[in-house]
């Protein structure tokens, strides 16, 4: 069963796309991430032009993060004030990111940079998470208390000026690192087509020492707006948002996510983090092989409106 | 005397269409021959709907004034090609730099047909000389690929050309069927031309070329439009003409989908 994608300008198997969306939704629901870092490479493996995959991935993440953020909002695990500060940096970063994206596409290095960024970030984040979760799992098996956040322990981040009080997070923190983090994630969102949750969540926990319970909700909140912004800017500058593809992905994705959440709730935190770490590492390794192994075809052709 | 008058009249008559041909670029005629080729297709528009997965068009044609004897000895050969809209193409070559494969060199070519699907009565190398085929842009290997801009030392142009043809063929955009043209009666023929699923939209051209014993006789071309239909066309147009509204709608749709799912699957 095929469906023609009007923007990607090719026919795809509708069941493959729905399957991808559901599988990624399942994993994102299980691990509490947006899933953009999985969907974009999957689409590229399935011959969707990278430019379309990135822009459409951002659009799909809007749906999954709205769904997730609403759930956290009801549970009261969303710090809107913190989210807004992150967002200020995020929108600025996304604006710059789109310029970088367009420039890379023109010089023909977009797919390389996307792959490199994925390998570096997914590799680093996956590696750190796996290390951390293995230590936690070991501790848990020895019945030692597991804690991610050590209250009272401060680092250089907490000595910066322009402090602000975030009531929901029970934090008194400088806005500089928050805006910087948002800015960096904003660039990644527009260049990689991801929400950035997989980087934002660990950075908020380990770097800013924000309580884990508000981290996911707050990061989802800001991801909604940054991915929404990215979608609109990609649509107006590169015309690469394929709404048919995005809709198929998000419909299957939100359904898959519900089952993922159920499975996730039966698992322990350390197990979940180890699982997510392995998943992230697997994607990084797959992409790294693609960069290092000699390609079947060293030539590529660019024609028409899309670069790939 | 009478025969001379007739032949004069014949010359006068043949000059008239020749003059008309000057303003009709879709027809090229070798005046040495009296045979003429004509073609028709059932539609001048191919619609890409949401379930489009490639298609095949059938081109019917006839040879007028064909010699019966030559027809029975298969002296006539026909090549029918569907050429896509012309687009500039850039070929990039990956090279290993510090262990990873990155795009290093690129050569841009002047606009080439985005797609090319050819059918013929025989493999084209058996139809005419390579020189004649090349002069008329017939065959995948004869599509003119003219580099533009800087090409470096130029020694690699042929590699890049081959790569371009190879990629176009492996992607299904360039294809050939050396037995796709069949005579269905003495002078009537039918050509099947395949259109791949990723066929570019725009103005295409069906070209039919008639050869007689390896010598060019006539070429006739008719236009064929490939268009997206209904929703696909609407989405494509909106994305390009009203990109801001389109982007906002894409976000809105995502927001609604996320919101609905959180309502439906809400655990109270």
Asked if B131 and B10 sit in the same domain, the reply is no
Instruction: Tell me which chain A residue has its CA closest to the CA of residue B250.
Output: A243
List residues bridging with B90 in a β-sheet: A302, B108
- Nearest beta carbon to residue A236 from set B95, B102, B247: B247
Helix axes A269-292, A36-45, angle to 10 degrees: 30
Each residue's pLDDT tens digit, B163-205: 889 988 888 889 989 988 998 888 899 999 988 888 888 899 9
**Pairwise CB contact (< 8 Å): A4 & B91:** no
> What values do phi and psi take at B82, rounded to 5?
-105, 115
Give the list of residues 6+ apart from residue A190 with CB closer than 8 angstroms, or none: A58, A93, A94, A97, A98, A100, A101, A230, A233, A234
Q: Is A75 exposed, middle or buried (0-12, 13-18, 19+ CB in 10 A)?
A: exposed
List residues bridging with B11 in a β-sheet: none
In a domain, B20, yes or no: yes
Each residue's pLDDT tens digit, B19-49: 444 556 678 888 788 888 889 988 888 888 8
Residues on chain B touching A250 (C-beta within 8 angstroms) = 253-254, 257-258
* Of A230, A233, A229, A200, residue with least CA distance to A217: A200
For tokens 């699982």, the residue is A275
So what's the pLDDT on residue A304? 52
**pLDDT tens per residue across all 308 residues of chain A:** 888 888 888 888 899 999 999 998 888 878 777 778 888 888 988 888 888 998 999 899 899 888 888 888 888 878 888 889 889 998 899 889 888 888 887 877 777 887 888 888 888 888 888 888 888 888 877 766 555 545 455 566 667 777 777 777 777 778 888 888 889 888 888 887 777 777 888 788 777 777 777 888 888 888 888 889 889 988 998 889 999 999 999 999 988 888 887 887 787 777 777 888 888 888 888 888 888 888 777 888 876 543 33
In a domain, B255, yes or no: no
Look up the ipTM and state it.
0.81
d(CA B55, CA B179): 18
Cβ atoms of residues A203 and A188 within 8 Å? no
d(CA B265, CA B261): 6
In a domain, B253, yes or no: no
Cβ atoms of residues B227 and B46 within 8 Å? yes
So what's the pLDDT on residue B13? 45
In a domain, B114, yes or no: yes
Domain count along chain B: 2
Shortest Cα distance from A220 to chain B (angstroms)?
Answer: 12
Instruction: Tell me which chain A residue has its CA closest to the CA of residue B162.
Output: A299
So what's the pLDDT on residue A93? 92
Instruction: Determine the average pLDDT of the residues in B68-78.
Output: 83
In a domain, B223, yes or no: yes
Asked if B90 and B171 sit in the same domain, the reply is yes
Shortest Cα distance from B80 to chain A (angstroms)?
Answer: 25
The answer, yes or no, to whether residue B15 has pLDDT greater than 70, is no
- What residue numbers bound the domain in which B105 lies? 32-228
In a domain, B251, yes or no: no
Asked if B75 and B21 sit in the same domain, the reply is no
| Interface with B, mutate which of A291, A300, A306 (most B CBs under 10 A) | A300
Chains A and B form CB pairs within 8 A to the count of 187
We report the CATH number of the domain holding residue B47 as 2.60.40.3880
Q: What is the pTM of this model?
A: 0.74
Q: Give the CA distances from residue A225 to residues A89, A94, B84, B205, B206, in Å, rounded to whole numbers and listed in that order.
A: 11, 10, 41, 46, 49
């Amino acid at each position: 069963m095929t469906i023609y994608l009007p923007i990607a300008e090719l026919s795809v198997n509708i069941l493959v796309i729905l399957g991808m969306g559901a599988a990624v939704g399942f994993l994102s629901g299980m691990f509490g991430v947006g899933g953009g870092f999985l969907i974009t490479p999957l689409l590229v493996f399935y011959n969707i032009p990278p430019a379309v995959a990135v822009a459409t991935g951002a659009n799909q993440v809007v749906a999954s993060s709205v769904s997730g953020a609403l759930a956290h909002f009801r549970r009261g695990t969303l710090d809107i004030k913190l989210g807004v500060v992150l967002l200020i940096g995020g929108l600025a970063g996304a604006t710059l990111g789109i310029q970088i994206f367009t420039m890379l596409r023109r010089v023909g290095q977009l797919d390389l940079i996307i792959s490199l960024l994925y390998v570096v970030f997914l590799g680093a984040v996956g590696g750190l998470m796996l290390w951390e979760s293995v230590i936690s799992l070991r501790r848990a098996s020895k019945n030692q208390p597991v804690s991610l956040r050590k209250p009272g322990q401060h680092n250089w981040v907490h000595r910066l000026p322009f402090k602000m009080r975030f009531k929901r997070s029970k934090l008194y923190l400088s806005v500089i690192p928050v805006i910087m983090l948002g800015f960096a994630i904003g660039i990644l969102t527009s260049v990689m087509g991801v929400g950035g949750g997989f980087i934002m969540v660990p950075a908020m926990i380990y770097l800013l020492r924000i309580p884990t319970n508000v981290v996911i909700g707050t990061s989802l909140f800001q991801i909604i707006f940054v991915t929404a912004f990215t979608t609109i800017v990609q649509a107006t500058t590169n015309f690469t948002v394929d709404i048919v593809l995005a809709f198929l992905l998000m419909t299957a994705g939100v359904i898959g996510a519900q089952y993922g959440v159920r499975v996730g709730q039966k698992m322990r935190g350390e197990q979940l983090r180890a699982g997510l770490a392995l998943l992230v590492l697997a994607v990084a390794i797959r992409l790294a092989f693609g960069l290092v192994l000699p390609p079947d075809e060293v030539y590529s052709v660019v024609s028409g409106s899309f670069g790939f | 005397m009478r025969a001379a008058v007739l032949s004069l009249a014949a010359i006068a008559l043949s000059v008239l269409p020749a003059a008309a041909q000057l303003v009709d670029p879709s027809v090229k005629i070798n005046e040495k021959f009296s045979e003429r080729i004509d073609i028709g297709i059932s539609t001048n528009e191919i619609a890409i709907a949401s379930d489009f997965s490639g298609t095949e068009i059938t081109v019917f044609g006839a040879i007028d004034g064909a010699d019966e004897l030559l027809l029975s000895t298969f002296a006539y050969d026909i090549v029918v090609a569907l050429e896509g809209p012309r687009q500039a193409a850039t070929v990039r070559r990956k090279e290993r730099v510090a262990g990873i494969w990155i795009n290093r060199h690129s050569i841009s070519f002047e606009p080439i047909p985005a797609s090319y699907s050819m059918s013929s009565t025989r493999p084209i190398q058996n139809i005419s000389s390579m020189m004649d085929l090349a002069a008329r842009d017939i065959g995948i290997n004869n599509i003119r690929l003219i580099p533009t801009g800087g090409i470096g030392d130029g020694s690699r142009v042929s590699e890049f050309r081959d790569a371009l043809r190879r990629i176009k063929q492996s992607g299904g955009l360039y294809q050939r069927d050396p037995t796709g043209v069949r005579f269905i009666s003495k002078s009537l023929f039918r050509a099947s031309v395949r259109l791949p699923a990723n066929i570019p939209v725009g103005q295409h051209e069906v070209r039919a070329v008639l050869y007689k014993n390896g010598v060019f006789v006539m070429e006739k071309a008719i236009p064929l439009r490939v268009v997206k239909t209904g929703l696909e066309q609407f989405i494509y147009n909106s994305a390009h003409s009203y990109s801001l509204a389109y982007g906002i709608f894409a976000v809105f749709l995502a927001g609604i989908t996320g919101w609905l799912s959180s309502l439906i699957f809400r655990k109270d």
